[in-house]
């Protein structure tokens, strides 16, 4: 394409030129992400209440941190779809499913206006594209504005997220994958899972791009 010739893309991580502007991360850098190989690690999640299984693609090292920071704070929404596609290839669906629907962890409307988008929604779109699973962006909403979880310990994170979410559409009998960029203690997805199960969801599976190195 002429646009690719005039404005060649550089890899976000290594600055090498890419053949097209379609991807932000070059194949070499993507392949260098540190796979967790954890499988279902629900038994070691700090706050697993309501979550049936948990899967994370890569360890949260400097490279993934740079990608996720760029996704969240540098207006690179479509990078989320690319990351979601890579995650779908890293976590094979036949080892995680079956799932009836994918749902992103919602942002509070105020925070979403500030950022301009919810990065988890774009990750979900990439996952759904490869896995061929339907997704919903408004079935679960955040009704409580919470402070950042990054400075809180596991117990404080649970209190911070208590009653933070509300289900807007029926989830009765559904097996649901709840998707986020990073799963640290599980408190956020646990709060989502509790709300979903109160409304009749069958199973809730936590799916994240990364988790801190244990």
- Amino acid 162: pLDDT: 75
pLDDT digits (tens, 9 = 90+) for 129-172: 999 999 999 999 988 666 565 666 667 666 766 778 999 999 99
Residues of the chain with pLDDT under 70: 1-8, 18-22, 75, 144-154, 156-158, 160-161, 214
- Amino acid 192: pLDDT: 96
- Amino acid 6: pLDDT: 36
Answer yes or no: are the C-beta atoms of 56 and 208 closer than 8 Å: yes
pTM for this model (two decimals):
0.88
Fold of 35-211: Rossmann fold (3.40.50)
- Amino acid 3: pLDDT: 36
The segment(s) of the chain belonging to CATH 3.40.50 are 35-211
Strand order in the sheet with 101-104: 53-59, 203-211, 175-182, 101-104
What is the distance between the alpha carbons of residues 142 and 77, in angstroms, rounded to a whole number?
20
Q: For residue 138, how far is the Cα from the chain centroid?
A: 15
- Amino acid 153: pLDDT: 66
- Amino acid 5: pLDDT: 38
73 burial (CB, 10 Å; 0-12 / 13-18 / 19+) is: exposed
- Amino acid 2: pLDDT: 35
- Amino acid 1: pLDDT: 40
């Amino acid at each position: 394409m002429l646009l690719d010739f005039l404005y060649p893309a550089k890899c976000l991580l290594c600055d090498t030129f890419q053949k097209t502007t379609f991807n932000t991360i070059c194949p070499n850098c993507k392949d260098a992400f540190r796979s967790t190989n954890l499988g279902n690690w629900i038994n070691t999640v700090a706050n697993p209440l309501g979550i049936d299984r948990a899967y994370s693609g890569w360890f949260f090292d400097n490279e993934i941190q740079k990608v996720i920071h760029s996704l969240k704070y540098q207006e690179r929404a479509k990078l989320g779809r690319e990351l979601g596609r890579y995650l779908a290839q890293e976590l094979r669906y036949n080892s995680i499913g079956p799932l009836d629907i994918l749902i992103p962890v919602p942002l509070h409307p105020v925070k979403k206006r500030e950022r301009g988008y919810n990065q988890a929604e774009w990750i979900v779109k990439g996952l759904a594209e490869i896995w061929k699973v339907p997704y919903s962006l408004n079935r679960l909403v955040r009704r409580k504005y919470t402070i950042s979880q990054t400075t809180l310990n596991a117990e404080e994170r649970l209190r911070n997220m208590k009653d933070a979410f509300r289900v807007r559409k029926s989830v009765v009998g559904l097996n649901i994958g709840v998707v986020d960029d990073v799963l640290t203690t599980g408190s956020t997805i646990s709060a989502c899972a509790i709300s979903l199960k109160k409304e009749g969801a069958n199973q809730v599976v936590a799916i994240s791009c990364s988790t801190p190195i244990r």
